[in-house]
Chains A and B, each alone.
Chain A
Amino acid sequence: MLFTIFATITVAGAVAAMSLRNLVHSVLALTLAFAGLAVVYLQLGAQFIGLAQILVYVGAVAILIVFAILLTRDAEATPKFIVDRSWKSSGAVAIASFGVLAWAIHHSAASRHAVPPQPEATMQQIGNGLMMRFALPLEIIGLLLTAALIGAVTIAIHEKQETR
């Protein structure tokens, strides 16, 4: 029952994000979809990923998109709803790939297994896993993100010097 409500909200948000003409409205609808997804995670008992979803997607990614829209182009411009050949063919590809995936999942061996008992994943276990077993991948991701951050700052500084 609750799942139906939140799934509907998520899908409605995603559809609105695709179909609304105003870009900022699209971002807000997308945020609604992110939040709905987070609630679904929380309902499944995945507290950490649900809250991280809100923190990262609603708190950071949505803001990032907003900044990108407001800094790059006129947010008020409302492009016409275009239905041309590329739109139709890409729609067909999307439906086809969705159909193939749904068919594959439905007929795969994994879906016929009995649902395993829900594993207990407490915050302590996730923390221990990240800090002990998966410490190296975590460090590598951290290094990668830091490099990306420094790269972005370098590009921004370079641009500033040119305009002077």
Chain B
Amino acid sequence: MVETADQLFVILQHWLVGHAPASLRSILSVLLPVIAILVVFGLLFAITTILERKGLGRIQNRYGPNRTGPFGVLQPIADAIKSLTKEDVVPQAADKIVHFLAPVVLVLAAFSIYAVMPVGRNMVLANLDAGVLYFFAVSSVMELTIFMAGWSSRNKYSLLGAMRAIAQMISYEVPLILASITVIMAAGSMSTVTIVEKQAGFTGILPHWFVFTPWGFAGFILFMIAATAESNRSPFDLPEGESEIIAGYYIEYSGFKFALFFLGEYLGMFAISGLGITLFLGGWSAPLSFLTWLPSYLWFFAKLLAMIVVFIWIRGTLPRMRTDQLMNFAWKFMLPMTLLNLVTAGVWRFLPGGLLRWLVCSFLVVVPYVLLGRGLMQGWKLEKRVYRFAE
């Protein structure tokens, strides 16, 4: 029973393919997972928009959308109809072809990332040998589409936003990849499925996730910081800073193309959260040994929703950074920390298991963090902020 529930969608796919005519079978066995990915993550996008607006509203002491349907839960449908029926305005000076291609390529790239995402046991579209490399290769295409959007609009704000976005994404791609390499070293594979399988098993009731090791914990935190910057979310949302450059690279997009940009951005966020879950949080495996009877895909999406909630929480809590702070943080803090973390992962691999390994590796993580933090804070004058009007 538990097994059937776990493999429900796999069985369903085999059943559907088995009942199709023989000539269609090979196409259908690829097409079905693709349709599933499009529908599930499209729906997740709709859920996240309402979740984010409600959550941010609560954090800012207001209600959020509450007019459409009970408690405003139908707001995503209203948003979709609105963006579909709106006029598609293209600036007269815009580069028409590139302006059109940018959102299309963005969404294409964002969806193709999910090909290597193991959302459950036996539930992955393509178990590539180089899955993690595929992930980073495809997500690097998204940077180019952002430039295409910003440049083709012929608007100085959009070009500024695009340049900011590219500079930020290139800077944070280095720590992002370096933080993931620790996991690749520990698992000895770049295949996302193998990485999840390496984290299976329990000690007592606790799982063998990579996040429960000193290097894994540091790596996960560093990965999530870089992921926030990579998906252009607050506090790293300079590329679309509303108060400075209006909306950044998609300022000249309206109607459905704007919705596509929105979709692409959220899909990027889900994808990078999914990669973080796969690398550090054990993918689809259960968090406690007595909870393994719940289907694997439920655990994956529960973790994904938890990550999304954390992203919303951070967005509602932290103020936007300045460009120099952003770059200093990336190159002076994130890069040395990820490099040292790489060494820590190597030490962890070759030391015999036991208390000594924990002590040495914790030391290797904590001491550089404290020293680096102290060093970078030198010359800062931290004092209580005085508000002139808001007190």
Give the bracket for the number of chain B residues in contact with chain A: 20 to 34
A134 to B193, CA, bound (A): 28
Q: Is the C-beta of B138 less than 8 angstroms from some C-beta in chain A?
A: yes
Write out the residue numbers on chain B whose beta carbons fall within 8 Å of the beta carbon of A54.
137-138, 140-141
Residues of A21-71 whose CB lies within 8 A of B:
24-25, 28, 31, 35, 47-48, 51-52, 54-55, 58-60, 62-63, 66-67, 70
What 0/1 pattern do residues 139 to 154 of B give for CB contact below 8 A with A?
A: 0110110011001000
Q: Are B148 and A28 in touch, CB under 8 angstroms?
A: yes
Q: Is the C-beta of A124 less than 8 angstroms from some C-beta in chain B?
A: yes
Write out the residue numbers on chain B whose beta carbons fall within 8 Å of the beta carbon of A66.
147, 151, 166
Q: Are A124 and B140 in touch, CB under 8 angstroms?
A: no
Question: Nearest Cβ in chain B — how far from A9, in angstroms?
Answer: 14
Question: Nearest Cβ in chain B — how far from A10, in angstroms?
Answer: 16
Interface secondary structure of B, over-half rule: helix
A19 to B133, CA, bound (A): 33
Write out the residue numbers on chain B whose beta carbons fall within 8 Å of the beta carbon of A48.
130, 133
Q: Is the C-beta of A123 less than 8 angstroms from some C-beta in chain B?
A: yes
Q: Are A63 and B128 in touch, CB under 8 angstroms?
A: no
Question: Nearest Cβ in chain A — how far from B220, in angstroms?
Answer: 23
Q: Are A62 and B128 in touch, CB under 8 angstroms?
A: no
Q: Is the C-beta of B98 less than 8 angstroms from some C-beta in chain A?
A: yes
Q: Is the C-beta of A122 less than 8 angstroms from some C-beta in chain B?
A: yes
Write out the residue numbers on chain A whose beta carbons fall within 8 Å of the beta carbon of B189.
123-124
Q: Are A55 and B151 in touch, CB under 8 angstroms?
A: no
A66 to B130, CA, bound (A): 28
What 0/1 pattern do residues 120 to 160 of A give for CB contact below 8 A with B?
A: 00111000000000000000000000000000000000000
Q: Are A59 and B129 in touch, CB under 8 angstroms?
A: no
Q: Given contacts A48-B130, A55-B136, A55-B137, are A123 and B190 in contact (CB under 8 A)?
A: yes
Q: Are B166 and A63 in touch, CB under 8 angstroms?
A: yes
Q: Are A51 and B130 in touch, CB under 8 angstroms?
A: yes
Write out the residue numbers on chain B whose beta carbons fall within 8 Å of the beta carbon of A123.
129-130, 189-191
A122 to B194, CA, bound (A): 14
Q: Are A58 and B144 in touch, CB under 8 angstroms?
A: yes
Q: Are B129 and A58 in touch, CB under 8 angstroms?
A: no
Q: Are A51 and B133 in touch, CB under 8 angstroms?
A: yes
Q: Is the C-beta of B163 less than 8 angstroms from some C-beta in chain A?
A: yes
Write out the residue numbers on chain A whose beta carbons fall within 8 Å of the beta carbon of B138.
54
Q: Is the C-beta of B301 less than 8 angstroms from some C-beta in chain A?
A: no
Give the bracket for the number of chain A residues in contact with chain B: 20 to 34
Write out the residue numbers on chain B whose beta carbons fall within 8 Å of the beta carbon of A28.
98, 148
Q: Is the C-beta of B205 less than 8 angstroms from some C-beta in chain A?
A: no
A58 to B170, CA, bound (A): 12
Question: Nearest Cβ in chain B — how far from A42, in angstroms?
Answer: 10
Q: Are B140 and A55 in touch, CB under 8 angstroms?
A: yes
Q: Are A63 and B133 in touch, CB under 8 angstroms?
A: no
* CB closest chain-B residue, reference A48: B130
Q: Are A63 and B144 in touch, CB under 8 angstroms?
A: yes
Pick from A51, A70, A124: contact of B134, CB below 8 A: A51
Write out the residue numbers on chain A whose beta carbons fall within 8 Å of the beta carbon of B136.
55, 59
Residues of B62-106 whose CB lies within 8 A of A:
95, 98
Q: Are B163 and A59 in touch, CB under 8 angstroms?
A: no
Write out the residue numbers on chain B whose beta carbons fall within 8 Å of the beta carbon of A25.
95, 98
Write out the residue numbers on chain B whose beta carbons fall within 8 Å of the beta carbon of A63.
143-144, 147, 166, 170
Task: Among B134, B140, B166, B189, find the residue whose CB has the most chain A CB atoms closer than 10 A.
Answer: B140
Q: Are A58 and B130 in touch, CB under 8 angstroms?
A: no
A138 to B130, CA, bound (A): 20
Question: Nearest Cβ in chain B — how far from A65, in angstroms?
Answer: 11
Write out the residue numbers on chain A whose beta carbons fall within 8 Å of the beta carbon of B143.
59, 63
Pick from A31, A55, A62, A122: contact of B129, CB below 8 A: A122
Write out the residue numbers on chain A whose beta carbons fall within 8 Å of the beta carbon of B147.
63, 66
Question: Nearest Cβ in chain B — how far from A111, in angstroms?
Answer: 30
Question: Nearest Cβ in chain B — how far from A125, in angstroms?
Answer: 10
* CB closest chain-A residue, reference B177: A55
Q: Are B140 and A60 in touch, CB under 8 angstroms?
A: yes
Question: Nearest Cβ in chain B — how far from A95, in angstroms?
Answer: 31
A123 to B192, CA, bound (A): 13
* CB closest chain-A residue, reference B141: A58
Q: Are B163 and A70 in touch, CB under 8 angstroms?
A: yes
Write out the residue numbers on chain B whose beta carbons fall within 8 Å of the beta carbon of A122.
129
A51 to B139, CA, bound (A): 11
Q: Are A62 and B144 in touch, CB under 8 angstroms?
A: yes
* CB closest chain-B residue, reference A69: B151
A70 to B141, CA, bound (A): 19
Question: Nearest Cβ in chain A — how far from B214, in angstroms?
Answer: 23
- Which residues of A does B touch, CB under 8 Å? 24-25, 28, 31, 35, 47-48, 51-52, 54-55, 58-60, 62-63, 66-67, 70, 122-124
A-B pairs with the 6 shortest C-beta distances?
A: A59-B140, A54-B137, A55-B137, A51-B137, A51-B133, A123-B129
Given A31-B144, A59-B143, 14 other A-B residues pairs in contact with their CB atoms under 8 A: A24-B151, A25-B95, A28-B148, A48-B130, A48-B133, A51-B130, A51-B134, A58-B140, A59-B140, A59-B173, A60-B170, A62-B144, A70-B163, A123-B190
